[in-house]
Amino acid sequence: MSRIGKLPIELPAGVTVDIKDNFITVKGPKGELKQSLNPNIKVEVEGNEIKVSRPNDERENRAQHGLYRALIHNMVVGVSTGFKKELEIVGVGYRATSNGQVLELALGYSHAIYLKMPPEVKVDAKTERNKNPLVTLESCDKQLLGQICAKIRSFRKPEPYKGKGVKFVGEVIRRKSGKTAAAK
């Protein structure tokens, strides 16, 4: 058995699950998420637990077992508590401002970058004096949140010499020494 797939998923108070026609819908205080299911994977709701099982030990079914358990768990956590990611913008003159669902980034290019957020994602940009600007993204959909963070980071990835660019808060950038280290 899959170590991840065999674990039951606890349903917190206020979260409801509906399974119909190979689709699972999870509703909670933070929103509603829907996911299609593989017809081979069996999902059952027993009391306040969700159990995921597979019919046999074929390679494809073993791979899908843990995957769907993890996807359903992320949906349950998302609609109950939500997910939050913070991006830090490092660099002189680099700025971030949010106006409703539009994020404006100034990352050293000749133009500003405007990124319109989907309605499921809340964006907030904070700039404090003598600190790097922070962009905070919140959503109930973990997959969408990660994709948007990756898109923002791709506009200016952190470079290894000065560490300038867009990085996750807490991310460690491997730094390289410049030309002066080779001259000694």
Per-residue pLDDT of the chain (184 residues; tens, 9 = 90+): 578 888 999 999 999 999 998 899 999 999 999 999 999 999 999 989 999 999 998 999 988 999 999 999 999 999 999 999 999 999 999 999 999 999 999 999 999 999 999 999 999 999 999 999 999 999 999 999 999 999 999 999 999 999 899 999 998 999 998 887 555 5
Residue of 50, 153, 58 lying closest to 96 (CA atoms): 153
Fold equal for 9-80 and 83-168: yes
The amino acid at residue 91 is: G
Domain range annotation of the chain:
9-80, 83-168
Buried b (16+ CB within 10 A) or exposed e, 102-129: ebebbbeeeeeeebebeebbebebeeee
Architecture of domain 83-168: Alpha-Beta Complex (3.90)
| CATH, domain range 9-80 | 3.90.930.12
